[in-house]
Amino acid sequence: MATLFDAAQNWLNQDPDAETRAELTALLASAKAGDAKAEAELQARFDGRLQFGTAGLRGPLQAGSMGMNRVLVAQAAGGLADFLKGYDKEPSIVIGYDGRKNSDVFARDTAEIMAGAGIKAYLLPRKLPTPVLAYAIQYFDTTAGVMVTASHNPPEDNGYKVYLGKANGGGQIVSPADKEIAALIDKVATGNIQDLPRSDDYVVLNDEVIDAYIAKTASLAKEPQCDINYVYTAMHGVGYEVLSKTLAKAGLPQPHIVAEQVWPDGTFPTVNFPNPEEKGALDLAIKVAKENNAEFILANDPDADRLAVAMPDAQGNWKALHGNVVGCFLGWYLAKQYHAQGKQGILACSLVSSPALAEIAKKYGFQSEETLTGFKYIGKVQGLLFGFEEALGYLVDPDKVRDKDGISAAIMFLDLVRNLKKQGKTLSDYADEFTKEFGAYVSGQISIRVSDLAEIGKLMTALRHTPPTVIGGVNVAQFIDHTKTDRQSDILVFVLENGSRLIARPSGTEPKIKFYLDARGTDPKNAEQVLAEFDEGVRHILRQDAYGKQDC
């Protein structure tokens, strides 16, 4: 126990934050006084370290090595600085942050430590979308970038996303860079963060790079002006300012806004989870849409790198479109344009996204590629024309950024709507035409959230060692374990005889295991029936003893 108390005291001695210092002081005192609950909590706070990986860092805002706090961020910045000095003779970095609690504090700590290490550091001037940071890396040709954000995670979380520029292209880090940075962070963590040199000799940027991003994004809009009646929500995030200015620059109509959610608020008071995919997240937007008889809803997640779209059905019931639907709508729209222009290149999506994109690519003579999950892999595709992932991430202008971009995706979606209106068509017409051209593809997802991360490993092991041979009355024709392929990733794929596909993988950013379901039918109604039977079959499998009787 002395070791645990020593670790906590050592952490406490370094902590420059009054709030987490008070929190840890009280917890340590209670644990020393014999409070078993406090002791267990202290043990959990120091049971290892929040791991730095290809998603950077992400975790709860709390004191201790298993939380996001100023000590951990300083250690990460110190390790990253050491990496950059070995990576580039004249290293530089640009740093951005969103509206979550302490995002600005973590960003300034990073800027000071980078400057103290002799690295040219630029700090974005205020809370801004992740795509602006991704663009700034290329704009200033920096060695790296850091975005302080937890994207669409719960309110109590924050995160630290790392990008590499120059020869690496400005995308998120991939292996082996993540492992090399992690090792250097661990080395810094053996010392005291108070020994890390700091300097205020960093540049706080003006609006030049923001204006450049807006101008380049606005240039995507090329269709004739027309009225569009739609609703937008920023989900309490940082998207509205940049999107609104981009719309104005592009000559696109402004939306009805969800006033309660339009400005940054790290407490996310109107939603349980600030993720447009979550049940209930779009309720306020739907209310505004009904009041204004809107055609559709656009929603960004809190750091505005994702885009959600919702539409009313024939009965007037509002429903969010699956990310695969939006991805294929945009992919089809762009593929037709690029084909007409004689362009060559690749349409790419993550392997858990819709197989329909490959059919689009084939029809128009483009190559297609399925990458590992995570936009960092899509951004690495050479010759990329368009990329998407089913989790609402789209890249419509890869010459500008190498990451998903919810602002540019919104501009492109609005241009698609203008193109349809020019032809006297609606989004529903477009959906019908897509089905006639490529078939009816439908997707679903089952997510199992856990309190103990070990449960994810147990379930994946059970599925790997005892794979189901029949799902929903349909035989499994092919089982692929990607730990045994060149993908080298913890992903399991089950392809059924009727062409349906189930993919299981742990989430890279949340304590979840996700099951991705893809089905195809002769028409939308038939496809939905196939998916419903498939979904029930998967849930039935997961409720069996062999898989720990999952509650799903």
Query: Residue 157: how many CB atoms within 10 A of its CB?
Result: 21
Kindly state the tokens that stand for 550.
């999952």
C-alpha torsion 58→62→67→70, nearest 10: 90
Q: Nearest-CA neighbor of 327 among 266, 236, 412? A: 412
Q: Nearest-CA neighbor of 352 among 127, 502, 508? A: 502
Say which residues have a Cβ less than 8 Å from residue 247's Cβ, sequence separation at least 6: 218, 253, 254, 255, 411, 414
The SS3 assignment for 331 reads: helix
Q: Cα separation of 78 and 163, whole Å? A: 16
Q: Cα separation of 491 and 469, whole Å? A: 17
Cα–Cα distances in angstroms (integers) from residue 545 to residues 455, 459, 479, 541, in the given order: 14, 11, 21, 9
Given 65, 103, 151, 350, the catalytic residue: 151
User: Could you confirm whether 368 is annotated as catalytic?
Assistant: no
Measured on CA atoms in the order 491, 447, 465, 540, is the torsion positive or negative? negative
Q: Cα separation of 157 and 271, whole Å? A: 15
Q: Nearest-CA neighbor of 210 among 131, 146, 151, 143? A: 131
- Specify burial of residue 548 (Cβ count, 10 A radius: 0-12, 13-18, 19+): middle
Q: Nearest-CA neighbor of 385 among 334, 326, 328, 333? A: 334
The SS3 assignment for 475 reads: strand
Count of helices and strands (H, E) across the chain: 17, 22
| Contact between 184 and 155 (Cβ < 8 Å) | no
CA max distance for the chain: 75
| Contact between 172 and 162 (Cβ < 8 Å) | yes
- Give the residues across from 503 on adjacent strands: 493, 516
Catalytic site residues? 151
